[in-house]
Structure 1
Amino acid sequence: MKITRIKKRKNRRLYDIFIDGEFSFSVSSNKVLQKFGLEQGQIFQPDNFNKLREKIEFFEAENILLQFLGYRFRSKKEILIKLTSKKISRSTIDALIAKYEAKGFINDENFAESYILDLITHHPQGNFAIRQKLKQRGISNEIIKRLSEEYLSGENEHEMAIKELSKRKTRYMKLEPRERRNKALAFLQRKGFSYTCARECIEEILFSEES
């Protein structure tokens, strides 16, 4: 097996590697070519070539993962989706996840706790909506249950609903009572607050002064 051509793609950093005249794979930059000593005319035995491909894929995937983790905590499911979208093999993905779980950089419980606190602080919404978002991100029922007991009590949900409704109080108070109640209820339920919680908060914020 011989590298017969290395071609840089126009307007992109990618380099296409051709083996025995046929396209074989791409690398993301000239640095990858240099790191693994890839050059035109290089000859490989099939076994050595396959091992090299695995090393290159792992290196490229690890760089993608580290960039992805650089912004915030990620769940294992988010990482799986991200790397799969980059056409990384499942064996490489599993190896990377195992490596960074051992380092403590991938931890679904830590991710879920951080995610809940961010929603509570910056994007208040109902407990049901928060639990659904966690499920969508692959968090286990066991973790969701444990963190719900700590952070998603009925009292906390009530406080979040009050906070969100208070932002719209001036707007809603201009409406007739029936329309005010219906629009406020629809707003809170869109944010995942339970019907009971929403009704209690509406009466407290929008109608208490009239009673």
Structure 2
Amino acid sequence: MAGTITSLQVQKHNRDRVNIYVDGVFAVGTAVILAAGLKVGQYLSDADLARLKDRDNVEQAHEAALNLLSYRPRSESEIRRALQKRDAPDEVVDVVVERLTSAGLLNDLEFARYWIENRSQFRPRGLRALQYELREKGISEAVAAQALAQVNEQTAARKVAADAMHRFRRTPPADLRRKVITYMARRGFSYETIAPLVEEMLEMGSVQRENLADIESEEKDNG
């Protein structure tokens, strides 16, 4: 549809896009940034229009990726999958990923560290669970291993064990051990990590209950 540009109109419902009319007929919609170099009276060949569409596909995919990144960091695999769901061609996805990587907005190692830190603060997990989650995010084994080297699993395990002890504080002692172990195992901690920690926590809880019983007994005697 080669011809002369007869009108450039900003779209009513999206001020960041422009409709291009060639010889009085709508030809293509494109991003404002791409339309900036166009003017009424300019001739566009079929090849020009094809290039414009290709560049616009990249810009739309780039904007979609930036929108995803505005909520939280993403892995490269997450961005690729999201753009592919939008039917972006592989070559467009490659260009967008390269642009984001060059701009420092995509970095799988930094993402993995962010993910681990976020889990540590809000939802502590064992190494096995973290490895699984990073793999699901498309993080390579080598990058995951580098990021996981910073993890102190014992610290995370203590947080989870303390949470479990509080959560099940009204559970009879006979059932408490099983519930705490199950709770921790579901969060990716190995039995080798769980077992001694649970025994320590149970012993501390037992001592505390005995001390409380002694205090209550003394208060009754004094009363």
CA deviation digits over 1:109-136, x for unaligned, max 9?
1111111111112210111101111111
Are 1:103 and 2:103 counterparts?
yes
Residue 204 of structure 2 aligns with which residue? 208
Shift of 1:78: 0.6
TM-score by length of 2: 0.73
Work out whether 1:185 is the aligned partner of 2:181.
Answer: yes
More deviation in 45-54 or 135-144? 45-54
CA distance in 2, matches of 1:118, 1:82: 22
TM-score (norm: length of structure 1): 0.76
Equivalent runs, 1:122-133 vs 2, <5 Å: 122-133=122-133
Distance in 2 separating the partners of 1:16 and 1:80: 28
Alignment partner, residue 86 of structure 1: 86
Separation in 1 of the partners of 2:36 and 2:177? 65
Name the residue aligned to 2:150: 151
The one-letter code of the counterpart of 1:46 is D
Superposed displacement of residue 168, structure 1: 3.4
1:168 partner amino acid: A
The alignment's C-alpha RMSD in Å is 3.5
Paired letter, 2:182: A
**Partner-residue secondary structure (3-state), 1:51:** helix
Between the aligned partners of 1:209 and 1:190, the Cα distance in structure 2 is 22
Which residue of the partner structure matches residue 76 of structure 2?
A: 76
Once residues 82 and 25 of structure 1 are traced to their aligned partners in structure 2, the CA distance between those partners, rounded to angstroms, is: 25
SS of the residue corresponding to residue 84 of structure 1 reads helix
2: distance between equivalents of 1:189 and 1:164? 10
Q: Deviations over 1:14-47 (max 9, x none)?
A: 9999x9xxxx9877x8x589658699xx985432
Alpha carbons 1:36, 1:56 under 8 Å: kept: no
1:196 to 180, 192, 197: 192
Residue 48 (structure 1) aligns with: 48
Q: Which runs of 5+ in 1 are unaligned?
A: 4-11
In 2 relative to 1, CA 37–86 (structure 1 residues): closer, same or farther, beyond 3 Å? farther
Over 3 Å counting, the alpha-carbon distance change for 1:54 and 1:163 in structure 2 is: same
Distance 1:170 1:109 in 2: 35
**Identity level (%):** 24
Is the 2:181–2:198 Cα contact (8 Å) retained in structure 1? Answer: yes
2:168 maps to 172
Specify whether residues 114 and 164 from structure 1 end up closer, same or farther in structure 2 by C-alpha distance, changes over 3 A only.
same
